[in-house]
Amino acid sequence: MIYVGIDVAKDKHDCCILNQDADPLFPVFTIENNLAGYEQLYERIQSVSKDLTEIKVGLEATGHYSYNILRSLLDHGYHTYVINPLHTNLYRKGQSLRKTKTDKVDARSIAEMLVTDKTLKPYTNTSYHNEELKSLTRYRFDKVRERAKLKSSIARLVNILFPELEELVPTLHRPTVYALLEEMPGASFVASSNLTHLKSLLEKASKGHYQRDKAIEIRDAAQTSVGSVMPAKSMELKHTINLIRILTEEIDEIESSIKKIVDKYDSPIMTIPGINYRMGAMILAEIGDFSRFNNADQILAYAGMSPSTYQSGHLESSYAHMEKRGSRYLRYALFNATRYVCIWDERFRLYLTRKRAEGKHYYVAISHAAKKLLRTIYRMEMTHTAYQPL
């Protein structure tokens, strides 16, 4: 067997090639991150073996820097292993007491892990193509978080400019309120507005839900409002509303693309009551190829949801906290999906109730239900069977 370790960087990659006895076949060498560099690597590999079944190539999961070299390796038919950087870091530290970290040392450590760790599983084309869905779900996550911050700014600005408005509407974050504040960003604007125009604006934005009575109520509140007259804050309010509209359109476009990909997957996960396209897609994207995990507990560890363990001599920790050392996106998706599954599915609702009856905090009980949900998802994906409710 030939083992190749690649330490990935932005402009260059350091490579180490070992034989089955972990002896280097070449001194650790550096290739450029371009086509000529890739060809140089393949020439070195083929000079020692042309049998692809006898070659294992490993590299760290370094985000977007590894996409191109990974795609090239898969296209050339190499058995490629993508290793968690935490794993390689611990392995490297275990080889020496000295604090030695260089790109060449990392490349050798990756190659040596391929020699010694027989539990590693090769990266598949399924996992690579799954990166598109992962990119979309993470992109949507960031956009939604950005929009949430802007919505908090809306509440802050309204509290300055027209604090009474919040008591007159169910929520500030609805098209009717945004239409009103975009044209009249402050109590002073509303107070001096023409009642007929105000009524027409509200009626059109609310599709007939708000009539003359609501227009009078809002204008009367504006005329006695303690809101400040601050042109700078009014401008900020208008711009913030416009940014929220733009972000919402972008999120809708992203979700449309996500739905198309998930429909192609035809995953049984979508048959579980309470799991929608958003959380279902994020779970599928973060886990990727289910076959690379031997059991659901490995996915729990990957999500950082397995309990930490500390025992030494007669000392044993009484509180097993969640590790939270994995994909925070998967952890987020599982928690949020579980909350809705516990509402819509009787089996999980009863399970949550039982955990709560044991005296567990709501979020602790949800974490238990999330683990149960993940084990259910794993079994469904591996057997390709739909969910069977009670």
Q: CB count, 10 Å around CB of 309?
A: 9
CA-closest candidate to residue 237, choices 181, 174, 180:
181
Residues 6+ apart with CB under 8 A from 1: 19, 20, 54, 55, 56, 115
Alpha-carbon span 379 to 113, nearest angstrom = 30
The pLDDT score that the predictor gives to residue 86 is: 76
The pLDDT score that the predictor gives to residue 85 is: 81
Residues 6+ apart with CB under 8 A from 306: 297, 300, 322, 323
Q: What is the pTM of this model?
A: 0.79
Helix (H, G, I), strand (E, B) or coil at 288: coil
Side chain identity at 171, as an amino acid letter?
T
The pLDDT score that the predictor gives to residue 321 is: 67
Nearest-5° angle of CA 15, CA 86, CA 4? Answer: 20
The pLDDT score that the predictor gives to residue 163 is: 96
Residues 6+ apart with CB under 8 A from 241: 154, 178, 181, 182
φ and ψ at 185, to 5 degrees? -80, 65
DSSP codes of every residue in 323-337: ---S-HHHHHHHHHH
- For every residue of 233-272, which 3-state class applies, written as one string? HHHHHHHHHHHHHHHHHHHHHHHHHHHHHHHHHCCHHHHC
The pLDDT score that the predictor gives to residue 303 is: 87
The pLDDT score that the predictor gives to residue 270 is: 92
The pLDDT score that the predictor gives to residue 338 is: 95
Evaluate whether 189 touches 234 at the Cβ level (below 8 Å).
yes
Which residues of the chain carry a pLDDT beneath 50?
none
Alpha-carbon span 273 to 343, nearest angstrom = 9
The pLDDT score that the predictor gives to residue 386 is: 93
The pLDDT score that the predictor gives to residue 327 is: 83
